Amino acid sequence: MKQYGKIIAQLRKENNLTQAELGAKLNVTYQAVSKWENDQSQPDFATMAQIAEIFHVPLTIFLNGEDSEAATSLAPAENSAEPVLGYCTVCGNAVRQENVAQQRPVLICKNCAEEAEKQRAEAARKMKLAEEAKKIAKHQARNRGLIWAAIITGIMLIICIFGAVFSKSKALDSILLTLASCLFCYTFSAQMFWDGFVFDACLFGGKIIGTPGIIFSFDLDGFVFLIAIKIFFALLRLLVFVVTFLLSAIFAIIISPFTFVPALVRVNRYGLDEG
């Protein structure tokens, strides 16, 4: 029976591994490695194949030789010429000159470096896709306001033309009124789709409505009084809401031509969620 102890011991020492470290790579105890090296027992064929793979030597080293001289003669020349530089800080595998990617500040093998490069490339690709999607969303938000504003302004233009045809006003007055109406309509309608200052100013009226609490007695007259006051306050709130909303809307329409360009720049640059 062939004895492989000297071969295993020499390969282990050449690669600066302890019996415990070799055993950990093979999922065996250091006592088992010690028995192999002392020829008290022998590894099976699958384990020998693992040992050959760990030390980067051909499996024939165990089949063709029984002593350390045979191991040395059959081992690849580069195994002795290229000692182990250390162990990869990522995967823990032995690193030689042939598979070293980085030595400082930490030792990394080529496989781990390539994997890290793939991950960086994938992260960059995902970031690029996210930026493109964000850019598309910005353009969609901008275009939605511009398109709907054009539709609403087109309707306004048709109404103004019909009004000018049947109006007794001067032609110049009708043209100027039509142009002004279309200008205010377009700038106001577009900004209502973009949120921002015009949108907030238009809806400000509905935010200032409030009614005080009501004190009443727990009898028939008190309940009648409560119902009457509730109806009165409801009508009052509706009236105040309509008046304040109209005033706010008129104010928003008046300022819309002056805020249109800044709003367009904001939406084009940041979209609706930023700025």
What's the confidence (pLDDT) of residue 92? 65
In the chain, what are the domain boundaries? 5-83, 134-270
Which residues partner with 108 through β-bridges?
A: 102
- pLDDT at 199 (0 to 100): 79
Q: What is the CATH number of domain 5-83?
A: 1.10.260.40
255-266 pLDDT, tens digit each: 888 888 888 888
Q: How many residues does the chain have?
A: 275
What per-residue confidence (pLDDT) applies to 132?
82
pLDDT number for residue 76: 46
Q: Please, which pLDDT band fits residue 70 given cuts at 50, 70 and 90? A: very low
Burial classification of residue 55, based on how many CB atoms lie within 10 Å of its CB (0-12 exposed, 13-18 middle, 19 or more buried): buried
pLDDT score recorded for residue 206: 60
Look at 63 and 256; give whichever has higher pLDDT. Answer: 256
Write the CB contacts of 123 (distance below 8 Å, at least 6 apart in sequence). none
In this prediction, residue 216 carries a pLDDT of 53
Residue 274 has pLDDT above 70, yes or no: no
Q: What's the pTM value of the predicted model, to 2 decimals?
A: 0.42
Q: Which of 202, 188, 177, 154 is nearest to 259 (CA)?
A: 188
Token digits for 241?
A: 């809401």
CA distance 248 to 205: 6
Locus of tokens 């690849």: 76
**Average pLDDT value over all residues in the chain:** 78
Q: What is the pLDDT of residue 212?
A: 58
Give the pLDDT confidence of 125-148 residue by residue, as tens digits. Answer: 888 888 887 777 777 778 888 888
**Whether residue 271 has pLDDT greater than 80:** no
User: E strand or H helix at 51, and its extent?
Assistant: helix 45-54
Alpha-carbon radius of gyration of the chain: 42
What pairs with residue 86 in β-bridges? 95
Mean pLDDT for the stretch of residues 170-179: 83
Q: Give the mean model confidence (pLDDT) for residues 225-241.
A: 79
How would you class 129 by CB atoms within 10 Å of its CB: exposed for 0-12, middle for 13-18, buried for 19 or more? exposed
pLDDT for 19 beyond 80: yes
Instruction: Look at phi and psi of residue 219 and say left if phi exceeds 0, alpha if psi is from -120 to 50, else beta.
Output: beta
Beta strands in the chain (DSSP E): 86-87, 94-95, 100-102, 108-109
pLDDT for 72 equals 46
Q: Residue 67: is its pLDDT beyond 70?
A: no
- Alpha-carbon distance 39 to 271, whole Å? 75
Q: Point out the least confidently predicted range of 31-40, 181-190, 224-233.
A: 224-233
Q: CA 111, CA 48: separation in Å to the nearest integer?
A: 24
pLDDT surpassing 50 at residue 150: yes
